[in-house]
Structure 1
Amino acid sequence: MIVNESQQSTETTSKPLGRTVSSTQVTEKFVIPVIQEEVYQPHKDTPKRVICVAVDDSPQSQYALTWTLDHLASANDQVCILNVRPYAIPGYVLGSSFTGTAEGLERYNRDLSHDLLKKYGDQVLARGVQCRAIALRGDPREEILAKVNVLKPDMLVTGCRGLGFLQKAFKGSLSDYLVQHAECVVVVPKMNS
């Protein structure tokens, strides 16, 4: 998480498999919980290299993971899969009658994230490579960058959606942002058309 001048943050600490780590992020208007959940626990063996792969449910992410397993990862390495899900809108913003809807949406997003991480994690484990899968919540740029800065991997691999010039100008590209700001090598494999 990147903290602006108007924000304060508390540190999160890692917990074993299946545990949720939480803290709070205080903004000028809201208190937003920061969530991190580990779907796969890291192995006890110290890996030779740590390779983070930022994924979502796009074909580009699947390609980035497959490319990583084919070209980078070996049995002595650890692949750390990162997925960021969006915030559900808090019920108090919508009104008390929508609280159940917001909680249901959060649970739905969490389940989708965990299922995706398990799917990708199974692919990594099938190749005989150590796997760690972490579900995050918030803005993908900030959360991935913050987690990469904590994990200090040897490299980060992310897919590229091929945004057009105008889309990049207005919205920006996650991969461009990570290339510019990450403290490690960032690899963006080009998906063949």
Structure 2
Amino acid sequence: MEAVEGAGLAMQRTKEEGEEMMGKNEMKVMVALDESGESFYALKWALDNLFGITGAVTPGTSDRGAGTVTLVHVQQPFQHFVFPAGPGGAAFYATSSVEQSIRKAQEENSAALLSRALQICKDKNVKAETLVLTGDPKDMICQAAEQMHMDLLVVGSRGLGKIKRALLGSVSDYCAHHVQCPIIIVKPPPKQHHTKQ
């Protein structure tokens, strides 16, 4: 096993897997995105480090030839919440119009997020496609990577502390243990401490 580390990256692969990935004409990379700045940092890191410098051409190819990026965003499924309606403990379920409004807002949010990500890819001259899924992000990302036979999964890390990670769970941690392809977890850049003078 060869360990590759750098810029907050943790990935392990066998030498044969690395040679197989590099020998392919086109590498299939999936980048998981959410509303966080960390996921967009991971996308930019992947484009810069896996697909080279903007405008660079891989020798012997007409374009960059590095591969395709699949941008995946997972929406949380709609839950029919129960709201207490009065002191008697009566329950209120969301009406179909409320449900439709929430779903429409989710779709608009996903479209805006993926449009921003597609523009970043376009600016770097990297081919990209989008995928919107509904469900638990941890499971859906791993399933999509496996079903689409991805060569590599890139996820951002929010840098949760031990307590938050234990209570909330970490998508990147879960994917690192369950996804079938190699994974790169991109840690956020160190925070700049500004001192007042």
Listed one character per residue, the Cα deviations across residues 65-110 of structure 1 (whole Å, up to 9, x for unaligned) are 0000100025221011000111123489954x62100111011101
Task: Name the SS for the 1:188 alignment partner.
Answer: strand
**46-55 vs 136-145, which moves further:** 46-55
**176-185 vs 119-128, which moves further:** 119-128
Q: TM-score scaled to structure 1, two decimals?
A: 0.71
Listed one character per residue, the Cα deviations across residues 7-62 of structure 1 (whole Å, up to 9, x for unaligned) are xxxxxxxxxxxxxxxxxxxxxxxxxxxxxxxxxxxxxxx96101100010111011
- CA distance in 2: counterparts of 1:191 and 1:86, whole angstroms: 24
Change (3 A) 1:57 1:47: farther
1:168 counterpart = 2:165? yes
**118-127 vs 62-71, which moves further:** 118-127
Task: Name the SS for the 1:176 alignment partner.
Answer: helix
Match runs of 1:57-68 below 5 Å? 57-68=35-46
Q: For the pair shown, which has the larger CA radius of gyration, 1 or 2?
A: 2
* Counterpart position of 1:88: 78
Match runs of 1:65-80 below 5 Å? 65-73=43-51, 75-76=64-65, 77-80=67-70
Listed one character per residue, the Cα deviations across residues 105-130 of structure 1 (whole Å, up to 9, x for unaligned) are 01110110111111101111221111
Partners of 1:47 and 1:78 within 8 A in 2: no
1:103 counterpart = 2:100? yes
1:49 counterpart = 2:23? no
- CA distance in 2: counterparts of 1:162 and 1:134, whole angstroms: 25
Report runs of 4+ in structure 1 exceeding 6 Å deviation: none
Pairwise CA RMSD of aligned residues?
Answer: 2.1
1:131 counterpart = 2:146? no
Aligned residues, how many?
A: 147
Task: Name the SS for the 2:71 alignment partner.
Answer: strand
Gap runs ≥5 in structure 1: 1-45
- CA distance in 2: counterparts of 1:173 and 1:127, whole angstroms: 29
Partners of 1:54 and 1:157 within 8 A in 2: yes
Partners of 1:61 and 1:159 within 8 A in 2: yes
Task: Name the SS for the 2:79 alignment partner.
Answer: coil
- CA distance in 1: counterparts of 2:81 and 2:186, whole angstroms: 40
Matched AA of 2:151:
D
Q: TM-score scaled to structure 2, two decimals?
A: 0.69
Partners of 2:159 and 2:187 within 8 A in 1: no
Give aligned-pair identity as a percent: 27
